[in-house]
């Protein structure tokens, strides 16, 4: 899971501070939060971001790959992406896509984490779903498919 770094405004509650995240997600095996600076991967602006990894081995496995993927030769951008530009559009729209170096690093980190688990735990046969679980998954898949066919866009894509 990805989420921008927390705002300094304590009235705004990011998902990372929600009780379900703290007491459920972060209690899962090998749960870890990695803070990255997207500009180190080629983002057009400074966009600190949190990535949550779950069940991918010790945090160092994912963290090391994310660190290796950073392009430390880059210069930190000076231009902020807050607010609106002269054209009235949100400046954050320029940062909506992950830089390719970040995409590559996340894929490599995920594969390293899975390889770590496979070496440490081996492969297991999947547990067969109960009928209610299969029905729930089918419903959620259908709902997700509906979202991909709508005009629902993140807030920064509006004018």
pLDDT, tens digit (0-9, with 9 covering 90-100), for 97-127? 889 999 999 999 999 999 999 999 998 898 8
pLDDT tops 60 at residue 134 = yes
At 48, is the secondary structure helix, strand, or coil?
A: strand
Three-class secondary structure assignment of 27-83: HCCCCEEEEEEHHHHCCCCCCEEEEEECCCCCHHHHHHHHHHHCCCCCCCCCCCCCC
Band of residue 152 on the pLDDT scale cut at 50, 70, 90? low
Q: Where are the domains of the chain?
A: 2-148
Question: What's the mean pLDDT in 132-153?
Answer: 80
Angle at 57 between CA 6 and CA 32, to 5 degrees: 10
Mean pLDDT estimate for the chain: 85
């Amino acid at each position: 899971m990805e989420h921008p770094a927390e705002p300094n405004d304590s009235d705004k509650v990011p998902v990372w501070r929600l009780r379900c995240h703290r007491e459920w997600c972060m209690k899962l095996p090998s749960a870890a939060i990695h803070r990255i600076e997207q500009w180190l991967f080629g983002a057009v602006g400074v966009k600190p971001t949190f990535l949550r990894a779950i069940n991918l081995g010790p945090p160092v496995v994912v963290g090391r790959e994310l660190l290796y993927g950073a392009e430390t030769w880059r210069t930190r951008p000076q231009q902020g992406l807050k607010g609106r530009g002269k054209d009235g559009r949100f400046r954050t729209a320029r940062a909506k896509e992950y830089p390719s170096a970040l995409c590559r690093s996340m894929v490599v980190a995920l594969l390293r984490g899975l390889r770590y688990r496979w070496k440490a735990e081996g492969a297991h046969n999947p547990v067969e779903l109960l009928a209610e679980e299969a029905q729930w998954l089918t419903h959620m898949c259908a709902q997700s498919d509906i979202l991909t066919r709508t005009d629902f866009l993140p807030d920064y894509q509006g004018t």
